[in-house]
Structures are given as C-alpha cells and as structure tokens.
Chains A and B, each alone.
With several copies, the nearest count.
Chain A
Amino acid sequence: MIDTSTPPATSKTVETVSGITVRLCGDSGDGMQLLGTQLTNTSALAGNDVATFPDFPAEIRAPRGTRAGVSGFQVQFASQEIFTPGDTLDALVVMNPAAMVTNIGDLRKGGILIANEDGFNEKEYKLAKVESNPLDADVIEQSYRVVRVSMTKMTRDAVSEFGLSTKFADRCKNFFAMGLVYWLFGRSLDPTLRFIEEKFSKKPDIMNANMAALRAGWAYGETTEVFGESYQVEAAKLEPGTYRNIMGNQALAWGLIAASQVSGKDLFYGTYPITPASDILHELTKYKNFGVRTFQAEDEIAAVCATIGAAFGGTMAVTASSGPGIALKGEAMGLGVMLELPMIIVNVQRGGPSTGLPTKTEQSDLLQAMFGRNGEAPMPILAPRSPGDCFAMAVEAWRIATECMVPVMLLSDGYIANGSEPWKIPDMKDLPEIKCSHPAASDSDETFLPYGRNENLARPWAIPGTPELMHRVGGLEKEDGTGNVSYDPDNHQHMVDTRAAKVAKIAERIPEQDVFGATSGDVLVVSWGGTYGACLTAVAKCRDAGHDVSHAHIRYMNPLPSNIGTLLRSFRTVLVPELNAGQLRMLLRAEYLVDCVGINKVQGKPFAVTELVDAITHHATTLRQTKAG
C-alpha cells in the first residue's frame, strides 16, 4: 500500500472541478491501453472514484493509421461516487487523424482536444481516409480548445541522450502524452515512474527514456503558454477502507479463489480461450500456489465436461466462456443439472449472434442462460453489476452451488469484464461462510441414498474415495432417493418438479430486491448486469430533476428475488433498459404479467447516461401529463 501521492507543484492556476472524463486514443500500437490504465491507477491512488471503458479493435494489430485500427481508453475520475466512465468527454487526446475523426463526436463543446501534431501528415490522412488535416476545419477551432503538440519531435529530443533508435525513441511518445495529461489534471508522476522502473528494469535505456518522456510531457504543460491553468479533482468520500483498482475479469478470478479458500476446496478451472473471457484464465493460472488448477481444454465441451468430472471428484469446479462457447456447453450443462453437482458456468457476454462482435459488449445471452438446454433444465443465474461486484457474485455463485447442489450460471459481460473501478478490499471474515461437506461411510446405518435430499432439496455430495458410498450417476432420468435409472412416469414428473423447486427455493436464500428511491410511484427502472452504473446515474439525475423515478438493479436473475412481483406492481410504469432486444423484459412480463416497457440498444456499446435520462424523462413526463390531464 502506498500513500496518496501529491503531484509535483505547479506554478500555474489550479481550478478545482468535481470530475473529469478523458479519452485517450491512438493507433493500436500506440500504447493507449497502457496509458489509460496508468491514468486510472494514479487517479484511484489520488482518492478519486474512477470508472473506465477500454475499447479496442477486434484485430490483434489492426492496420496502422486506419480508423479500424484506433484503440481508445476512456476514464472518468471524480470527487464523488460515480458509476460510469462518463458520456461526453471533457478532454480528448488523439495521436493521429484516424483517432481524431472517430472520436471527436464525443467531445463536449468547449472541451480540450490535445493532438499529436506530428501524427498529422499526408500519409496519415490517406490511411484515415480524410482529405486534409481535420484539425484545420473551422468547426473544430470554433467548438473546442485545440492544443496541437509536437509530441513525436519533443519526445525524440527528450530521450536523445539515451541513444535509442528512432523506432524505440518514438515508442516513448505515449509517456510524453501521459506526462502532459498528468500535468493538466494535477496527477502525481510517482506511481507511473515506479511502474516504468519495474516494467523496464532489465532494459535501463528504455526505462530512462520513458521516464524522461513522462517528465518532459509534464514540463511541457507547465512551460507552454497554451495552458493557462490546470485542473484538480479532490478525493472522493468513499466508504472507509483500503482500496485498489480492479478489473471485472480479475475480480471474478479473485472471487473464485476466495470462494475456494473459504470453502476449503482447491479450484479447478476448465476452459477454452475466447474473447472476452480468456483473461480469467490468464489471471487464475498465475495462482497455482492457491491450489488453482487450470485446464485449457481442446474445446468448450471438453472444458465443461472436465469441470463436471472435477465436481464429481469433490473439487470446486468452474468453467467459463462467451456466447458461442456457451452454446457448445448446452448439452453438458443439462447433464450437470441431472447430476445435481455444484459448479459454476461463467458467460462473459459479447456482441452476438454467432461470432458477432467479439470485442464488443452486449447482454443478449440471458435467455440462452435460461433456456439454452434441451428439456426442463432450470439453473440459477447471477449477474454482477460492476467490475468489483464480479468478486462478490463469484463467491455468491459458489455459495448457492454448494448449498443447493446445482450448477450456477454467472453472467458477466465485456463491459464490466474489461472495465475497472476502485474496489474496497474485503476482510476475509466478511466473506460468507461456505461449508462443503461430504458424507462419510459411517454417517448413518441406513442404505446410502445418493439422491436423498435435505431441506434445500440438495442431495449429498458423496465423492469417490469414500468407502461404502459407491454409486453411479448419469444423464438418464433417475429415481429420487436411490439415483437408479428410472423410466417411471410419476418419478419423472416428480424429478422435473423437484429440480425446478430446488432452483425456485433459492429465492429463500438470497436478499430481497433493494430499490434506489421510493418503493412505489410513477416509474421504476429495472436493470441487470453491466448497465448498473448508467441506469443508477440516469435515475439519480431524473430524481434530481424532480421526476418520481426509482431504480431496482437485479443481480439474482433466476430465481428472481421474491419481492420483485410486488415491486413491479407498485409502479405505474416499469422501464427495462437492456443491451439486447428485451430479454429480462420478456421474463418479467411472462412471470408477473406487468406491461414492462423496454429501452433497448444493441450496438455493441454501453448505454450513455443521457440516452437513459432522455428515455426515462420521456416516460415520466408522459405519465405526469396523463395524471394532470
């Protein structure tokens, strides 16, 4: 842990603002993701609340200089609690024309546009498919505070003493840009200097050059007359505790490890790489000393089946994928339901259908999670609402899986998986207790019933190696109690009912749905998954504007919390914003017969707060008019 550092003193005026949204864009090779991550960490360390949105091309190295090759990273840091990376930008940094033309639309009127002037030349215009220098357009000068900086040249100068080739010298220019941004927003250089030191410790020339570039960028801000003032964002008043910045996939991985530790189980993670789930594998495989075994299978089917095999053996077993891979797991998930073994299936959703938009976010796999299996095969489904919440929901998934002996589906999405936020480090003793018990041979005198049930309708988790409890499981319908294969009609009905009841009963073991705002009134906004931040912020804004709007964000998708029906019926209008064509809406309508209205967007992008504010306001206003009229 380090102290919240203070930036080097500036001699210019400092204006204090409550929050800043900035986007850094350049070519995929320009290191924008690194830059964004550093700015995020530094801001978090300064005590700001932060939220991020990385957005990069589908290609590994998309063609240089083209629009398709632009990589961007947006971060909002603020002195109050925030829940989204922001809609419109206060500042935009662009390294080349392609980055500028594809992003300028999001810069607010009067916002700061910082451009690497050296990246604007004929060759680049051609690559970006623009006729001439877009910076020169009158409308640009008139709408924004344009700052042209000769970054490449100044970086070369700054690093000349280290004798790097031009190619390597030019690679330092992202640190120059970073230094300038740091100056502008009063960020400390220390965390990034330390980062550079660690990362390049084996290449001292490059280390020194990057440090010099960073400092040069800062110095440029301090020196040049272009900037009259810099901005400062004070620390946010977050709940007391120790914080760190965390990404969604990382939090999910850590949550799994934490669950394995509190339940006294080793963790088996069987998976097949797929965007945007692969980083969970990359993260988990680092922690073999926690008893984590990762298995990169030959395909998704092998991955989920190995997971079932490990669960049969008594291990905490998890598999993960994204939409197309989850589709392949459907048959085996049905077996998991039949075997009544605990395990977790993670879906980090991406744009669909088919291969779709693999690097973009979407919430369109909820119905697949509910129904993507043959026969009546119900499964509990949880959905984290933010990067940090992935931790909590991973633990929760394992709690439910073991308490009820059932495979649990965890629905994350690309937006929260790759996004990050400050995360209050939990105390181990605050984590829920997860008791896993396995019957022993001597537990009872009676014949062992592998499909006997407890009050949760859970069967015993008897594992190979236990004398006398030998039994066989399988995908054919089984007789309740004995677990023998049974074609008996009444037993089948009973088992279908029991598997459904077991999942339905979970509603008793999860919290009631909480609401932001009043629990009855004009408008209820019901959301789930990664849209939490945007919906909450939008509802808050609408409430500030005097509308009677509340917000319920569901994290337990199946079964739904037991008070949802009452809640829905307590509002005159229920709005369901989703990044799909209306999947939760359909479930709510079917279950509660409430005429929920969808706000739907399927563009591979998260909601902008303003979009939601507009939609909610529209409905709230219409209602008020109806009431008045």
Chain B
Amino acid sequence: MNLPVLKAADFASDQDVRWCPGCGDYSILAQMKKVLPELGFPREKTVFISGIGCSSRFPYYMNTYGMHSIHGRAPTFATGLKSTRPELMVWVITGDGDALSIGGNHFIHCLRRNLDVNIVLFNNRIYGLTKGQYSPTSVEGQITKSTPMGAIDHPLSPLSVALAAEATFVARSIDAHVKHLGETLKAAAAHKGTSLVEVYQNCNVFNDGAMAYAQERKQRADNIVELEHGKPLIFGAKGEKGIRLTGNHLEIVNTEDVPSDDLLIHDAHDPNPAIQMMLARMRYPEMPEPIGVLRCVEGVATYNDQINEQVTAAKAKKGEGDLMALFNSGDTWQVA
C-alpha cells in the first residue's frame, strides 16, 4: 500500500492555538507536527491524550484523534485505549503538575506496566493554567503565588522517578532546541514500551527563564550535556569539559587533563539503570543537566501485548467462548 505523503500542515487541526505568545508549547507543537509525517504512520491511527493544564490543550491542535481528559489521569485513559486497540499510536501529553502532582501515581504505574505509549511531559516548573502556583518540579525557595515566602517542598525529578519505576525509555529535551527535540520525539516513537520525554518548556508568563541556563544559546553549552549512546559525555562551548565516573559518583573533568577513555561512555541500552540514575540526578548549577535519551531498553514485555496475548492464549486453549456452553456448565436441571 502506498501511503500518501503527509506534511506538517496536515497534522494541524482547524482550531486556533491559544497559548500565550512566546510560550514554549508552540515549539513543541511545531516539532510534533514536523516529526509525525516522518514516521509515516496513518494520521487516523494516531491518538493524543492529555490531562489538564496549558500543555494539555495540545490535542486540540493536532488533526488526529484526541482526548483532553481530566487532570492527572491521561495515562489511565491511554491504558484503556491501548490495551484494547494496540494498533493505535498513542501519545500522552502532560505537564509537571498534571504528571507529577495529581497524576504521579498513574505516571509510575503506566511506566511500570511498560504500556506502549509515548509520554511527553512539558516541564515548566509551574502551574501555568491556574496562573502561577508552584509545582512539584519548582525549585526550593521559589516564590510563586502560593509560596510568597518560598517553596519548602524538595522538588521531584521525573527522570529519577521514572527510572525507579523501571521505565524502559527515558529522555529529556528542550523546547528551544528544536532539532534535538524532534530527534528525541522520534526516538520515543520508535521505542516499544512506555517512552518518557521530559521537555524543558518555558512559561514566559509565570516562570520566565526558569530554565534559561539550559535554553539560552549563551549559557547552555556549559549547563547541559547531550547524551548519545556509545559516545563519551562531553560538554562546554569547545567540548572542554567531560564527565567521569569515579567510584560511586559522577564528576566534571577537564577534557584536556584526562584521557578520553576515562570519560563516561553513555550506554542508553544498559538494562542496569545505575549510571542512568546518576545522570538523572545531575542538577544545575552543580552539574550540567543531561539531555537526550538516558535509557532505551528494548525487549521488555508491554502491558498491551501481554493482556492481548492472554486472550489469544485462552482462546487457543479453550476455544472461542461459547455462551450457551458457559450457561449450561456445572449443575443444571430441567423444569417441564
């Protein structure tokens, strides 16, 4: 079958996009529209499911099937859909509040079940839609509408939590790094099992510049390290810095001072997540923050495959269900 070749514009719905001018969400939308045609997957088999938040308006703007559900629960709708319609490509769109505050539990359970969906978590470290309260990823001491004296909760790292739930695909990208973002979304789509992509997204209205260190051209070379499977961890404008594993921790070294063999070589495919967990914990300003695919382990059974395999197996073993046989099983009697 020859599928028609689609363009980004084909993935745009007829709805007006209603984010604030300058919001990082636009760039993520643009990349998604650019990447989907490249996957060559039928539009009508593509579904976007979101929770509630600025980010969660995303499905309205995609000319695919979509559901703007309720706050925090997007992964659970996806679970019902993907378990019964495994042939669909399902994307879950969520925010830091949606996924990690009210939805934290569903997030973990989706990952541990390894449901074959792609979760894109728009992390702006704030509640955008409700106008600027702190979120579980807001930094300690952050002043927001609900924390005039500073936030006192210790922030959560979505990547750490995902790895602890034995996620099979964990990645991070940045709204402003359009190319990197596009590649990361593609890698997520290619993975069989739950793919988590955290995207640093600027909320220019309520938390402007919170991740400028990673977004801005001038600063980012020093503050982020781009992971590539099989490649050493090198960063800095001129590649002058690297990361080395020493004993039980990661440290920054000068690439001129250490032999390149000493640098940590990124292994996204390692089933043992030990190093990946260390990477997930690297935080600005002490360390550069990793972007790219931290972990991508294939071959782990997915929930949707298994639930359907049990049905197939049961049919193979017992034959297609026969209602009358079921009703008449066990003790029955006749009244004339």
Which A residues are within 8 Å of any B CB, using their own CB?
Answer: 1-4, 41, 44-45, 47, 59-64, 66, 68, 191, 235, 237-245, 254, 257-258, 261, 266, 268, 270, 272-275, 278, 281-282, 285-303, 305-315, 317, 324, 331-332, 335, 339, 354-355, 424-426, 428, 464-476, 484-485
A317 contacts across to B, CB distance below 8 A: 80, 84
Q: How far is the CA of A238 from the CA of B59 in the complex (A)?
A: 52
Distance from A306 Cβ to chain B, minimum over Cβ atoms (Å): 3
Contacts of B248 in A (CB 8 A): none
Residues of B close to A282: CB separation below 8 A = 145-146
Report chain A residues within 8 Å CB of B129. Answer: 60
User: How many Å lie between the Cα of A297 and that of B135 in the bound state?
Assistant: 10
Give 12 pairs: A residue, B residue, CB < 8 Å, sorted on A: A2-B331, A4-B334, A244-B332, A275-B130, A293-B311, A296-B133, A302-B73, A302-B109, A306-B83, A309-B49, A464-B85, A474-B69
Per-residue contact bits, chain B 268-287, to A (CB 8 Å; 1 contact, 0 not): 00000000000000000000
CB B93 to nearest CB in A, in angstroms, measures: 12
Let me know if B52 is at the binding interface, CB within 8 A.
Answer: yes
B80-A242 in contact (CB<8A): no
> How many angstroms between the C-alpha atoms of A98 and B183 in the bound complex?
40
Known contacts A245-B331, A266-B84: does B77 contact A470 (CB below 8 Å)? no
Complex A-B, nearest 6 residue pairs according to Cβ-Cβ distance, in ascending order: A309-B80, A474-B68, A290-B321, A306-B80, A61-B20, A309-B77
A300 to B314, CA, bound (A): 27
List of B residues within 8 angstroms of A426 by Cβ: 327
- Cα of A320 to Cα of B222 in the assembled complex, Å: 44
A291 to B106, CA, bound (A): 25
Chain A contacts of B15 at CB under 8 A? 472, 484-485
On whether the beta carbons of B84 and A273 are closer than 8 Å, the reply is no
- Given the known interface contacts A61-B20, A268-B83, A310-B84, the answer about A474 and B60 at a Cβ–Cβ threshold of 8 Å is yes
**CB <8 Å contact, B334 and A472:** no
Fill in one digit per residue for B292-336: 1 if any A CB lies within 8 Å of its CB, else 0.
Answer: 000000000000000110110111011111011011101111111
Task: Chain B residues near A258: list those with CB within 8 A.
Answer: 323
Whether A472 and B320, one on each chain, are in contact in the complex, defined by CB atoms closer than 8 angstroms, is no
Q: Does B67 contact A (CB under 8 A)?
A: yes
**Is B169 close to A, CB under 8 A?**
no
Contacts of B76 in A (CB 8 A): 297, 301-303, 305-306, 309
Is B134's beta carbon under 8 Å from chain A? yes
The smallest beta-carbon distance between A192 and chain B, in angstroms, is 11
**Closest residue of chain A to B65, judged by CB?**
A464
CA distance A360 to B256 in the complex (A): 62
Smallest beta-carbon distance A553→chain B, Å: 23
Known contacts A278-B130, A465-B85, A485-B60, A289 near B321 by CB under 8 Å: yes
Which B65-91 residues have C-beta < 8 A from chain A? Answer: 65-73, 76-85, 87-88
Question: Do the beta carbons of B320 and A469 come within 8 Å of each other?
Answer: no
CA–CA, A291 to B311, complex, Å?
Answer: 6
Known A68-B16, A261-B321, A289-B317; 11 more pairs at CB < 8 Å:
A1-B332, A47-B333, A61-B20, A243-B335, A281-B133, A287-B314, A289-B314, A293-B84, A324-B70, A468-B44, A473-B68
The docked-state distance in angstroms from the alpha carbon of A474 to that of B48 is: 11
Partner of B104, one of A298, A355, A471: A298
Q: In the docked arrangement, what's the CA distance between A468 and B70, Å?
A: 26
| Given A60-B129, A266-B84, A306-B83, A288 and B310 contact (CB-CB distance below 8 Å) | yes
Q: How far apart are B119's CB and chain A's nearest CB, in angstroms?
A: 14
Q: Mark B86-121, 1 if CB is under 8 A from A, else 0.
A: 011000000000000110111001000000000000
- Asked if residues A1 and B60 are in contact (CB atoms below 8 Å), the reply is no
B19: chain A residues at CB < 8 Å are: 59-61
Contact (Cβ within 8 A) A299 B85: no
What is the number of contacts between chain A and chain B, taking CB atoms within 8 Å? 285
A302 B79 Cβ-Cβ under 8 A = yes
Contact between A465 and B44, CB atoms less than 8 A apart:
yes
- Do residues B59 and A474 form an inter-chain contact, with CB atoms below 8 A? yes
Q: Specify which chain B residues have a CB less than 8 angstroms from the CB of A313 in the assembled complex.
A: 80-81, 84-85, 88
Contact at A473–B66, with CB atoms within 8 Å? yes
Cα–Cα distance between A324 and B145 once the two chains are bound (Å) = 22
Task: Give the distance in Å from the alpha carbon of A315 to the alpha carbon of B102 in the complex.
Answer: 25
| Most chain B CB inside 10 Å of its own CB: which residue of A1, A289, A472 | A472
What is the chain B residue whose CB lies nearest that of A441? B44
Cβ of B127 < 8 Å from any Cβ of A? yes
Bound state CA distance, A191 and B333, in angstroms? 12
The answer for the CA separation of A63 and B22 in the assembled complex, in Å, is: 11
Question: In the complex, are the beta carbons of A61 and B335 less than 8 A apart?
Answer: no
How far, in whole Å, are A331 and B319 apart by their CA atoms in the complex? Answer: 39
Give the complex CA separation of A145 and B21 in angstroms: 35
Q: Give every chain B residue within 8 A of A309 (Cβ-Cβ).
A: 49, 67, 76-82
Interface readout for B35-74 with A: 1 if CB under 8 Å, 0 if not? 0000000111101110010100001101111111111110
| B85 near A314: Cβ-Cβ < 8 Å | yes
Q: Are B44 and A68 in contact (CB under 8 A)?
A: no
> Who on chain B is nearest to A310 by CB?
B80
Q: A293-B311, A315-B84, A465-B44 are in contact. Are A285 and B333 (CB under 8 A)?
A: no
* Residue in B closest to A261 when the chains form the complex, CB atoms: B323
What is the distance, in angstroms, from B110's C-beta to the closest C-beta of chain A?
9
Whether B84 lies near A354 (C-beta < 8 A) is no
Q: Do residues B64 and A470 form an inter-chain contact, with CB atoms below 8 A?
A: yes
Task: Chain B residues near A278: list those with CB within 8 A.
Answer: 130-131, 133, 145-146
User: Which among A3, A66, A281, A465 is the interface contact of B16 at CB below 8 angstroms?
Assistant: A66
A164 CB, nearest partner CB in chain B, Å: 20
Residues of B within 8 A of A324 (CB): 70-71
Closest Cβ neighbor of B78 among chain A residues: A309
Distance between Cα atoms of A595 and B311 in the complex (Å): 53
Report B15 CB to chain A, min CB distance, Å. 7
With CB as the reference atom, state the residue of chain B lying closest to A299.
Answer: B102
